[in-house]
Amino acid sequence: MDKMIICRCEEVALKDVKETFSKYGCSAREVKLRTRAGMGYCGGRTCRPAVDAVLEEVTGEKPSNEIPLKVQPPVRPVPLSVLGGK
């Protein structure tokens, strides 16, 4: 179960989150910054709820929004015609 990927964009496994917390004893926010969980291409839109749930279980605290790691859209929109090649 520890090999389960929590954040696909950054390829962060459950094991990585747990090891980071046990090694550094840091807050939920620090775990996110150290592992980059929820900070990939999707900006956390896909994995943010899972990442927050795992961090709450591991650290015992709810991730705060005091300094938010928020969901962000891509840098610039890309038209679907570019992706489809036609």
2-28 pLDDT, tens digit per residue, is 789 988 889 999 999 889 988 998 877
Q: In this structure, is the dihedral angle defined by the CA atoms of residues 15, 32, 36 and 51, taken in order, positive or negative?
A: positive
The CA–CA distances, whole Å, from 79 to 19, 66, 72, 73, 76 equal: 40, 35, 18, 14, 10
Domain span at residue 10 reads: 5-84
What are 39's two structure tokens? 């900070």
Contacts of 72 (CB under 8 A, 6+ apart): 43, 44
Q: In total, how many domains does the chain have?
A: 1
pTM of the model: 0.64
pLDDT at 71: 56
The answer to whether 41 and 78 are in contact (CB under 8 A) is no
